[in-house]
Amino acid sequence: MQLTQPMVSVIVPVYKVERYLEQCLVSIVHQSYRHLEILLVDDGSPDNCPQLCDMWAQRDSRIHVIHKPNGGLSDARNAGLRQAHGDLVAFVDSDDWLALDMIEKMTDAMLRNQADMVICQYVVAYADGRFEKRAPENGPEEILNQQQALSELLIDGRLTNHVWRKLYWRNKVPKDIFPKGRNFEDIYVMPELFASCKKIVYLTDPLYFYRCNENGIVQTAKIKDLRDCLAAQEHAGKIITDICPELAQQVKMCSVWKTVGLWIDSVFAVDLEQEKHVFQKQLSQKLKCAKLQDAEILGKRKQLALFFTQHSPTLARVYSKILGKDDNFIADLKDFWRSLRQNLCLKEELRKNTAPKFLILCTPTYGNLGDQALLKGEQCFIEKYFPGYKTVLVSSGELRYVNLLKNVISSEDIVALQAGGNIGTLYSGIHNEQESAMKVFANKKLMIFPQTFYYSTDAAGLNALKKTRKLYESFEKFKVFVRDPASAHFVQENLPNTDVALMPDMVLMNCPQVLHKKREGVLVCLRGDSEATLPIVARDRLLTQVEKRFTKIRQTDTHVYYAPKNDADVQKLLNQSWTQMAESELVITDRLHGMIFALLTGTPCITILSKSPKVEGVYNEWLKDNKMIKIIHSVDEFSQAVEEVLTHHDEPLNLKKAETGFDEMAREIKKMWKVD
């Protein structure tokens, strides 16, 4: 970073977001890059947002509030730009939030590369608690020239039209650039913003968190909205062609692709059929001269949709409904075929292989690195204690036809459920998948690697527990391992006929190989899913204390928000996570595996309790002899805990109890099923 830091103006339009505003503001005021001007533009919000804005302005002198009559998002952004004094400018929607080091990373990339714009990746936060990275990639920063960036913008894949997730030089953003009174204003302005850019830096780091509003324009589209989108796309295409004539053919192809998409969307619009038909006729006329061979970018499905829009609107409507708004029908067919093919191939492989097998069910294909590290630990466990066994993995995506494997599992083989914290009602979808898979192997040697059991006490939880009890009682040779005392007690009390034993978390079987560089700063690893329990007010207080003690603050997560491509990708991501820990003076987390990753890399860690009992239970049972780790129950304990753990960094790990636990676990498995 340069000695003279440029000021960054962060413009936040505010309208009817009382529920989410403080989460957004906490993520901005606690940015590791401190030289900010924060402009909150109250766009005549009728709720408590104006008062919240004023309260935050009294607390932080960097915050300036602009109160104005309601004029829409574009008008609010323009109002913020008029009063922005920063060298750089960023836009943030007030129901979204930022990684704590977003501005620092993007400013560094801008200055280091002498760039005109920086773009980061973003994560979509869904209402059901899922997080998904927009582009599933993990790599170094890329330098794009203007033509490359505009080409990517046309595809609308990695480089979307959103004005947020980008950092601009203030003098390159024209006055009143946003078109007042229009939807899809970002599509209008983005080509013009690219027009003054010769060098653009693209970061694959997911630094912006976009809250998916299920009641937003895209989700509840009206024909008026789709007309606005069409006009925006036509305007953007003209600007891109003017800036870069070399892209004229791509503009034409992408126009066909996007128009077909609007045709499909119009089928699901919430308007009268007659109005929809008028718009569809307009789109069909626009697509009339499009040739299938010139529309390769569409892919086969939308090429067929193009053909129907040109020749039979009725068939086009039927086909659009079959595709589904998000191509769910086709995606399900693909999953159906892939799962069937994988299980048939696996069945044949198992039939030919005469060695005893250790089958692990429900292995993760998603980006939770804690669950991936559990799987690595299970593989290490089998290799160490059952060296004659062949490890066979059946992922959660392959469970649909797992019954095909039933008859190739012999009396020697062991079937195990993946370890973790998915039994119960916290993640009911995964829980139901697991139980369906175990039911297939009810008369086999069946076990569960150390899990956490958590059932809510409401009617849904009691009903789920009743089903689990009935299922477990149907198993002939069954052993359950749990990783925390609360789960052991729960099983004993509620599943009394189940053979249960308390054993270590399987991640403790891992031995990370990391190069210990100079430790610097604090690494914050706090969850945002259904297990998160730290309120926004408490998070704000925590980060305020962190800033008083540390000058360098970084943010991470043990979830990468996308599915790793293969085992090598998983190992790379785990190594990156462990290296981040090893380079930090302190880790602050509420994740169980954030705590264990810190321990395995010798990094002092303060762990805040989450909803599930697993964190405190695993700590007390297996980790408490390591003084570099400390559990706190509230933010008030933070300052004292910091001083305690920092005196124990890089001390030798004490994992004797866990090692003894794994030895005992192997003995119990061998004894129960008479394995040599």
Q: How far is CA 241 from CA 186, 193, 245, in A?
A: 18, 14, 5
Dist CA 670 CA 661 (whole Å): 14
pLDDT value at residue 218: 45
* Torsion over CA: 173, 176, 179, 180 (sign): positive
522-659 homologous superfamily: Glycogen Phosphorylase B; (3.40.50.2000)
Dist CA 581 CA 514 (whole Å): 10
CATH class, domain 330-509, is alpha beta
pLDDT value at residue 334: 59
- Tokens at 485, concatenated: 């005392």
- Write the CB contacts of 171 (distance below 8 Å, at least 6 apart in sequence): none
Compute mean pLDDT per 10 residues along the chain, 676 residues long, and list them.
Answer: 78 95 96 97 96 97 97 95 97 96 97 97 87 87 95 90 96 92 89 94 96 60 88 93 93 85 82 84 82 60 71 73 55 59 69 85 92 97 96 84 82 94 90 92 95 94 96 94 96 96 97 83 87 86 94 93 91 94 95 96 92 87 95 93 89 93 97 86
Residue by residue, DSSP assigns 266-291 as: HHT-SS-HHHHHHHHHHHHHHTTT--
Element (H, E) at 575: helix 567-582
- Any idea where the domains of the chain sit in the sequence? 8-211, 223-325, 330-509, 522-659
pLDDT value at residue 216: 47
Q: Does the 8-211 domain belong in CATH 3.90.550.10?
A: yes
Coil, strand, or helix at residue 571?
helix
Say whether 522-659 and 8-211 share the same fold.
no
Per residue, what are the HEC states of 83-123? CCCCCEEEECCCCCEECCCHHHHHHHHHHHCCCCEEEEEEE
Q: Which spans in 402-458 are helix H?
A: 428-440
Task: Tell me the pTM.
Answer: 0.89
